[in-house]
Amino acid sequence: MGIFNKKYRGLFNKYHKKMPFGEVVLKDLNYLVLSFRNFFRNNFKNKSILVYPHYPSRGSTIYKVGSLIGYNITNKPKKSVKTAVYWEYLTFRKEFLKMEEISKTKRVINLYSRDISKKFIDKIHQDVFGYATIVDPLSYNDKIVKKNDINAKHDGIIIQGPISAVEDEFIYQKLIDNSCSNNLVMDIRIPIINKALDFVYIKLRSIDERFKNTTVDTKTKNILEILNQEEIERINEYCSLLKLEYGELDVLRDNKDNKIYVVDVNNTPQGPPANTSKNDSAFALQKLASAFEKLSAS
């Protein structure tokens, strides 16, 4: 079974080589059922979105958007592909040569979104906002957040600065006071499709788990309830410099200076976030699907 799995990549899509054979079969069967449904839904036409090189999970927003607009999601290039999304689960992306080739004939979304390391996104943050999250931990005399430069590690810890030595694989940020009532902290998650959409997710989590990927509650809010127009324009400029056409930003507002700070960028978003109500999830996905159709047609 092990040898077979190393060679087997899936019939309709290319799955991870370590995926169990049974799971590969189930994913191919699910794809077949959905493609038949979409074929009849689209007046006997096959319409697909190429999501390459990695095949997205069913929890990803792109998978859910495809389902809403009746498009198959595949990571095998096909003639029926309407548009393509560069989808690689790495902080520093490597498999862009194939997408550059595809971009000669198809629109490739996020083609140049290739670095979402915290050091890089903070450099762009400094350029756009005029201030940064990263501090010099050798001289900064206050609380510091130490976390991995690689995305999605959720390993942040609070330390007291200044410190005597730094570790290259980590970054050192100022501790942003995003606390609210009842020992909770508030994260602002901003969906991006070409630009910031007109809504955000407000994510509340326990202050004791402020760096974990857990939530107590998530609600959708009109973006103008949370950010002012100048901040929205800065966010759009920031995404433009990052070459981020499709993704999400995690933003914190500091109670001390009232400024916003982008602390994470995700170009393979999952969602809506945990503990979002069914109504808010449906609202968000409809907004995402409509915006994605406009972007892919542009």
- Rounded to a whole number of angstroms, the distance between the first and last alpha carbons of the chain is 46
Question: Using CA of residue 35, residue 38, residue 40, residue 44, what is the dihedral sign?
Answer: negative
- Residue 2 confidence (pLDDT): 39
- Residue 240 confidence (pLDDT): 98
CA distances from 109 to 82, 210, 234 (A): 12, 32, 21
Q: Give me the phi and psi of 219, to 5 degrees please.
A: -135, 155
pTM: 0.92
- Residue 294 confidence (pLDDT): 92
Per DSSP bridges, beta strands 143-148 and 157-160 are antiparallel
Report all structural domains of the chain as residue ranges with CATH numbers, in order of start: 2-109 (no CATH), 118-292 (3.30.470.20)
Quick: pLDDT tens for 149-205: 998 888 999 999 999 999 999 999 999 999 998 899 999 999 999 999 999 999 999
Quick: pLDDT tens for 254-286: 999 999 999 999 999 999 999 999 999 999 999
Quick: pLDDT tens for 100-156: 999 999 899 999 999 999 999 999 999 999 999 999 999 999 999 999 999 888 899
Per DSSP bridges, beta strands 217-222 and 81-87 are unpaired
- Residue 45 confidence (pLDDT): 84
Residue 177 CA, distance from chain mean position: 23
Per residue, the 3-state secondary structure of the chain, as one string, reads CHHHHHHCCCCCCCCCCCCCHHHHHHHHHHHHHHHHHHHHHCCCCCCEEEEEECCCCCCEHHHHHHHHHCCEEECCCCCCEEEEEEECCCCECCCCHHHHHHCCCCCEECCCCCECCHHHHHHHHHHHHCCCCECCCCCCCCEEEEEECCCCCCCCEEEECCCCCCCCCEEEEECCCCEECCCEEEEEEEEEECEECCEEEEEEEEHHHCCCCCCCEEEEEEHHHHCCHHHHHHHHHHHHHHCCCEEEEEEEECCCCCCEEEEEEECCCECCCCCECHHHHHHHHHHHHHHHHHHHHC
Q: Which two tokens stand for residue 201?
A: 């997710």
Residue 237 has pLDDT above 90, yes or no: yes
Report the amino acid identity of residue 33.
V
